[in-house]
Structure 1
């Protein structure tokens, strides 16, 4: 949605300026045309040349430095922008914006533009919570400015709390959503079920078997499907991830619980994406009391859990069924074997030994195989982008292309 959009990035002075450099890169990669204005303080942290190299445009720093004599720079930039984002936005620049102060290139341009203005604050947690800052934020909100709230975490000042500039990838997602509004979405009205995360198989009240899945890929798929207009049900094993808004979430723990939760809802769905890492085996015996250690070896007998994907393939009617294959060798061979055996329409394979792929990270490297024989290899991408491509491929399958 950002392709060919004119994004004016206004950078004010704070340690988070380095993230604005990354944001410029992410926006450019997404196809946006980016121009940058830097405050005097911002230049103390990062040289304008970094933004120039990544954006491919001159960086504007001085109201009186007219790079093109045929136009007035701050008016030309104000008119050029489809959207203006202030990131990072310090308490100082927020105060100036709220009170209509225009004393440099950045604030002068903000007063001149009629484009939507977005603000991504970044500051010390106590500054962010100060009554004056809150008052200024409220006034800007009344003026129609949109905000990307800071996240919580360890701040450069040493404090832990809310005030950290949102990650560039998340900011790009917000802008994508903004330009998406009001446009037809490919999964509009479709019912999509996504499974995510690991399962836990108990041995006793203290111990259990599980795997390294974090649920990040499944959660990304659920959020992206919702953005594309689908009614999404996310069935998830135990994770530490924040619950996505606007999605029906069903929490389970064991493979059996996930089996029943999926099968109960399968007949209602148009698309099912099985991204969860479900245990293949569970202990034959679960102890009601904690097992006491001894000097002897411990042997635990296991039995197979129900194969959810196989059962879905057997009962599939109108649904598009998508599975995942996490492998450490012979990816294509094992993925295609799984696709055929379980009657899938598509399978997403990844080699978990590759750097940048697998469970723990925020990126993935996948290959997409379809029942029609189509293969698509994707480079390393963040999992949100991988989810978007997977759902685009599913949309293509639905249209019979």
Structure 2
């Protein structure tokens, strides 16, 4: 018996009921189907663009998987980029994962499916890819599989596919006439230097001040490969200074050079295990721009140094004391402990899907009190030194070397009177 369950809003499937068959659905037939697969070593993103011959209630797209755990997220978008309703089915006996999209009243939609735990490493990288979808009707499908940047293609096992190079990446592409319910999945083998990791959660804290911007980012790295690891490498934050890395015990060994940050874990982690640590660094004052008297901080929730799949991202920006009139695009603002704090969050982000934010606020005079106090202390110290040099020397003025004092001559005693005769 098959039980149908809707996908959560944030992620695709955390748990589906196992079953052996699909119920019949009123499916629309597509007249134009284009698949693009963004293949990265630790994950793969399928973008299916589908134009329907005539609107119908639903459209079903199937994937061949080795485990339901490979599903990270599934989301469907309509013609105006609105989110569409969808339901998912898992057939445990055949390993078929099917997404049924509600297509009522539309003739075009886009299905984005993210998979992970699909790559293994042993001398080379081997990734299982669904080159073409499994459909319940005959259809002609156009597909493109874009390999990771820097990957050297060794082999692939799929008919009707040729390889080329675009933008420094190898692309496998082709068009195939599919029969209904046919499975077209195969392996791709390639060489390169890649990490089979993802980030379960990333908590970012940004604290601007007149002297610069302090950033703390705590994350949990998860091993999605088939070998133990005790190391992770990221891009260095642009414009960083004074970087440090630590965990709950203390400082971690790291190497920051040539635009990369390599972090050594205290222990090795197996497949599915994670390691938590914090990266702390400073950015220059120019990271905060000032326009018409308002301070502005803009960026993406997923920072530029992170090129991995991230399940949960949270951001908070703690504005300087005395700040006011804060406005946060892509988030919210609250007052806490006498300070304004802007916050935002998102789920299932990657270099292919990010979420921008923009904060502006009026920075109060209180935020500069530290600098003012320091300037006053310096001015007072200088004044004290000047006064001492001016008046202290007057009280103990030495003789001028140009006019030395004449030594006093000893007074001569008058000669004694001669004795009287």
TM value normalised by structure 2: 0.18
Q: Which protein is bigger by CA-based radius of gyration?
A: 2
Q: Answer 1 or 2: which has greater strand percent.
A: 2
Q: Answer 1 or 2: which has greater helix percent.
A: 1
TM value normalised by structure 1: 0.19
